[in-house]
Structure 1
Amino acid sequence: AKLYAGWHSLLDMGGSAIMAKVRPYIGTTTTWFVGQAAHIGRFMMHCALMLLFSALLYWRGEQVAMGIRHFACRLAAKRGDAAVLLAAQAIRAVALGVVVTALVQAVLGGVGLAISGVPYATLLTVVMILSCLVQLGPLPVLIPAIIWLYWTGDTTWGTVLLVWSAVVGTLDNVIRPVLIRMGADLPLLLILSGVIGGLIAFGMIGLFIGPVLLAVTWRLFSAWVHEVPAPTNEPEEILEELDDIEEANKQS
Structure 2
Amino acid sequence: MPILNPRVDIPRVLLSVLFLSIMIIACLWVVQPFILGFAWAGTVVIATWPLLLRLQQLLWGRRSLAVLVMTLLLTLLFVIPIALLVSSIVDNSGPVVNWATSGHMSLPEFNWLRNIPLVGDKLWQSWHSLLQSGGRALVAKVQPYIGTTTNWFVGQIAHVGSFVMHCFLMLAFSALLYWRGENVGMGFRHFAYRLAAQRGDAAVVLAGQAIRAVALGVVVTALVQGILGGIGLAICGIPYATLLTVVMILCCLVQIGPLLVLVPAIIWLYWTGDTTWGTVLLIWSAIVGMMDSVIRPVLIRMGADLPLILVLSGVIGGLIAFGMIGLFIGPVVLAVSYRLYVVWVNEAALPDEDPEELVEILEGHTPKSEETPH
Taking structure 1 as the reference length, the TM-score comes to 0.70
Query: Do the aligned residues in 2 keep the contact of 1:96 with 1:180 (CA within 8 Å)?
Result: yes
Q: Distance in 1 between matches of 2:365 and 2:180?
A: 59
Q: What is residue 260 of structure 2 aligned with on the other side?
A: 140
Of the three residues 307, 311, 315, the one matched with 1:195 is 315
Query: Do the aligned residues in 2 keep the contact of 1:50 with 1:205 (CA within 8 Å)?
Result: no
Q: Distance in 2 between matches of 1:236 and 1:119?
A: 64
Q: Distance in 2 between matches of 1:35 and 1:113?
A: 25
Q: List gaps (5 residues or longer) in structure 2.
A: 1-151, 367-374
Of the three residues 157, 164, 171, the one matched with 2:284 is 164
Call closer, same or farther: CA 1:195–1:79 in 2, change over 3 Å.
farther
Q: Distance in 2 between matches of 1:202 and 1:119?
A: 31
Tell me the CA shift for residue 37 of structure 1.
6.0
Bigger shift: 50-59 or 151-160?
50-59
Q: What is residue 23 of structure 1 aligned with on the other side?
A: none
Tell me the CA shift for residue 67 of structure 1.
1.0
Query: Do the aligned residues in 2 keep the contact of 1:50 with 1:204 (CA within 8 Å)?
Result: no
Q: Distance in 1 between matches of 2:175 and 2:324?
A: 15
Query: Do the aligned residues in 1 keep the contact of 2:254 with 2:312 (CA within 8 Å)?
Result: no
Tell me the CA shift for residue 109 of structure 1.
1.0
Give aligned pairs, total: 216
Letter in 2 for 1:211: P
- Find the residue that maps to 1:118 and give its secondary structure: coil
Deviation per CA, 1:158-177, whole angstroms, max 9, x where unpaired?
A: 12212221221232122112
Tell me the CA shift for residue 195 of structure 1.
2.9
Q: Distance in 2 between matches of 1:205 and 1:52?
A: 16
Matching of residue 72 in structure 1 with residue 192 in structure 2: yes
Tell me the CA shift for residue 237 of structure 1.
6.8
Q: Distance in 2 between matches of 1:42 and 1:203?
A: 9
Q: What is residue 6 of structure 1 aligned with on the other side?
A: none
Q: Distance in 2 between matches of 1:119 and 1:242?
A: 69
Q: Distance in 2 between matches of 1:141 and 1:189?
A: 22
- Find the residue that maps to 1:171 and give its secondary structure: helix
Q: Distance in 2 between matches of 1:241 and 1:35?
A: 61
Matching of residue 175 in structure 1 with residue 309 in structure 2: no
Q: List gaps (5 residues or longer) in structure 1.
A: 1-31, 247-252
Letter in 1 for 2:301: R
Report the RMSD for the aligned CA atoms in angstroms: 3.3
Q: Distance in 2 between matches of 1:36 and 1:231?
A: 49
Matching of residue 118 in structure 1 with residue 238 in structure 2: yes
Call closer, same or farther: CA 1:97–1:224 in 2, change over 3 Å.
closer
Call closer, same or farther: CA 1:54–1:172 in 2, change over 3 Å.
farther
Bigger shift: 154-163 or 45-54?
45-54
Q: What is residue 205 of structure 1 aligned with on the other side?
A: 325
Q: Within 5 A, what are the aligned runs for 1:63-102?
A: 63-102=183-222
Q: What is residue 58 of structure 2 aligned with on the other side?
A: none
Call closer, same or farther: CA 1:164–1:90 in 2, change over 3 Å.
same
Bigger shift: 218-227 or 95-104?
218-227
Taking structure 2 as the reference length, the TM-score comes to 0.49
Q: Distance in 2 between matches of 1:62 and 1:207?
A: 27
Bigger shift: 55-64 or 75-84?
55-64
Of the three residues 248, 252, 255, the one matched with 1:128 is 248
Q: Distance in 2 between matches of 1:102 and 1:218?
A: 22
Of the three residues 352, 362, 371, the one matched with 1:232 is 352
Q: What is residue 45 of structure 1 aligned with on the other side?
A: 165
Call closer, same or farther: CA 1:197–1:59 in 2, change over 3 Å.
farther
Query: Do the aligned residues in 1 keep the contact of 2:228 with 2:288 (CA within 8 Å)?
Result: yes
